Structure 1
C-alpha cells in the first residue's frame, strides 16, 4: 500500500488556512504529528483525513432555536 504524504502547503490547502496556521497548529499539538523525511516535515494524508473525521462539527443549525433570533 502506497502512503501519500503532504507538505505543510498541501495540508494548508486542504484545511483552507495559511501555512503559518499549519505550523502554529502543529507547534500547539492541534494537528497530528508529521513524519520527518530528511529535514522535511510531511503529514500522512490518512492521518489528516482521520483527524478531520474526528473533529466535532460546529453547525449552528443543530440547536432547536438556532433559526430564532432572540432580542435582548
Structure 2
C-alpha cells in the first residue's frame, strides 16, 4: 500500500529546498539543527522535505516580517 498516494504528500529534494530559500546546504542544515526549520523525512538513505513544511515555514517568515514592519511603522 502506497500511503503517500493516499495522503497526497509532496516531497522536495534538498536542492529544491535550497533553490526556493536561496540558501546554502550548510545554512539549511544549521537551521534544522537549531530547530528553526523542520527536519527532513528519511526515505531510505535520502532526505526529503514535505512541501507543506516549506510552505508553513515561509508563511511564518512572511508573518514575522510583516509584524516587525507594522511595529516599526507605529513607533
Q: TM-score, normalised by structure 2?
A: 0.70
Matched residue count: 66
Quick check: 1:64 aligned with 2:73? Answer: yes
Say what the alpha-carbon RMSD is for the aligned residues: 2.3
* Alpha-carbon distance, 1:64 to partner: 3.4
Q: TM-score, normalised by structure 1?
A: 0.72
State the secondary structure of the residue aligned to 2:65. Answer: coil
Gaps of 5+ in 1: 66-72
Q: Check 1:61–1:35 CA distance in 2 against 1; reply closer, same or farther (3 A cut).
A: closer
Gaps of 5+ in 2: 1-6
4+ long deviations beyond 2 Å:
58-65
- More helix, by proportion: 2
Rg comparison, structure with higher value: 1
**Contact 1:8 / 1:23 at 8 angstroms: preserved in 2?**
no
